[in-house]
Amino acid sequence: MATTTRSRKPRPVKATLHAYQVGFGDCFLLRFDYSDRSARHLLIDFGSTGMPKKDSEASMKRVADDIAQRCGGKLDIVVATHRHADHISGFATSPDGQGSGDVIRALKPDRVLQPWTEAPDAPEDWVGPATPKEARAAKQQFHQRVASLDSMHAIAESAVLRLDREKGFDARWPFAERLRFLGEDNVKNLSAVENLMTMAGAKSRNLYLFHGCKLDLSAILPNVKVHVLGPPTLRQSASIKRYAKTASDYWLRAGPLVALGADGSAAEQSHSLLFPQLTKDDWFRESRLPTEMRWVAERVDNAEADQLLGIVTALDDAMNNTSLILLFEAGGKKLLFPGDAQLENWSYALQSDMAALLDDVDVYKVGHHGSLNATPKAMWNRFSKRGGAAKPGRLKTVMSTMAGKHGGRNGAPTEVPRRPLVDELRAHSELHNTQDLAPGVLCEIIEIDLA
């Protein structure tokens, strides 16, 4: 009887990570080189904020062209960790067909990976409910969440339009800059969203992922395992709808200008109850109204501003907590990409059976551009390969960020990147930071031996 020989799939021997300088944003091209001299390419996020619009468009087109050249005209997988502009704005297309998103679309990726919250419709077997009633409830909850996020997107857009129209409002209100930054980041990015939904061709090629779901990409990435650690579905955990102001897992150390109470919460004496970083001295705004009327106008203006900032900040936190957390395992090495996942997203993974996968991570893409709450200490402390410069097989960390764009107002310990975290990354890992690249340098290349 004739015997059949089972063909062996090639094995990955090297990974190369291109960390692009995109301002306050993420863009990573991950290449796997194989034993048969073939290669596979994954684009993980492609977005930017904080640059003038024309500069940003030109820069993203330049990056897109470079990606096209480096991958030889073909992308295998596109990952969009979540909907924030600083992660997907580059996927936007142009009416003339020459936009950065048009370039990426022409690379014809075989799969597009996104979090479950981006699914156009929620499959009823999404989380394996035991009864049809539970299936309907899960689906209804999903649609309620999407509707809620869409409403906040509209508020974010209206806030930006208000700042554009009313220059005096923009100039006088201390937090107008923060409102504009968050508002622009949370506008729905419709062109990019629609491009992501269709660039892989058939709908079945768009995969909407959640914690623990089975993901088999072996036909595209031979001998590479991809573990999905987050986000959890709402049925798995409702924590992603919440946001903790303080936690022992945050990098709150070294905040001399902020008093902390015995319970670790920020002191609120002489501060706004909603926004402790906004002192009452900041509330005063010049006005031509009679003196006896200024206190009314002052409170009305700031109540509206506080509401806008509160809503847009809530949307920012909610979106971050929908981020994909992907762990690539190849040739005995592990590469972790968590998007902007914050503590509420991480908490579910850290309490699950999958947490042990983190113990021997080799490469960590620093979450949320180095913010205080996206590299939980419970996760960081699991990394056995962190250590000093002499440590063999030392952990590599990669951060894409731009200082001065987010957080840190009035001495609050919220600047991005967070200084104590950066100090820790420099001391106990081999840190690669796009912010350290010289102007005009497109990307940093980090090589990882998988053999």
User: What mean pLDDT comes out for the span 82-95?
Assistant: 90
Q: What is residue 245's predicted lDDT score, i.e. its pLDDT? A: 59
pLDDT tens-place string over residues 405-428: 777 766 778 899 999 999 999 999
**In the predicted structure, residue 113 carries a pLDDT above the cut 90:** yes
pLDDT-derived band at 344, boundaries 50, 70, 90: confident
Q: What is residue 413's predicted lDDT score, i.e. its pLDDT? A: 84
Range of lowest pLDDT (19-28, 87-96, 302-311): 302-311
Identify the residue with better confidence: 261 or 205: 205
Q: What is residue 322's predicted lDDT score, i.e. its pLDDT? A: 82
Q: From CA 305, how far away is CA 316, in angstroms rounded?
A: 16
Residue with tokens 């709402």: 234
pLDDT tens-place string over residues 362-401: 999 999 999 998 999 999 999 999 999 999 999 999 999 9
Is residue 158 within 8 A of residue 187, CB to CB? The reply is no
By CB atoms closer than 10 A (0-12, 13-18, 19+), residue 274 is middle
Average pLDDT for the chain: 76
Range of lowest pLDDT (22-31, 38-47, 407-416, 427-436): 407-416
Q: The whole model's pTM is what?
A: 0.75
CATH superfamily of the 12-128+193-247+323-449 domain: Ribonuclease Z/Hydroxyacylglutathione hydrolase-like (3.60.15.10)
pLDDT-derived band at 159, boundaries 50, 70, 90: low
Q: What is residue 242's predicted lDDT score, i.e. its pLDDT? A: 60
Task: Choose among 345, 425, 354, 421: nearest CA to 386.
Answer: 425
Q: What is residue 191's predicted lDDT score, i.e. its pLDDT? A: 83
Q: What is residue 224's predicted lDDT score, i.e. its pLDDT? A: 98
**In the predicted structure, residue 281 carries a pLDDT above the cut 80:** no
Identify the residue with better confidence: 261 or 89: 89
pLDDT-derived band at 340, boundaries 50, 70, 90: very high
pLDDT tens-place string over residues 115-144: 887 776 544 344 422 344 444 454 455 444
User: What mean pLDDT comes out for the span 82-87?
Assistant: 87
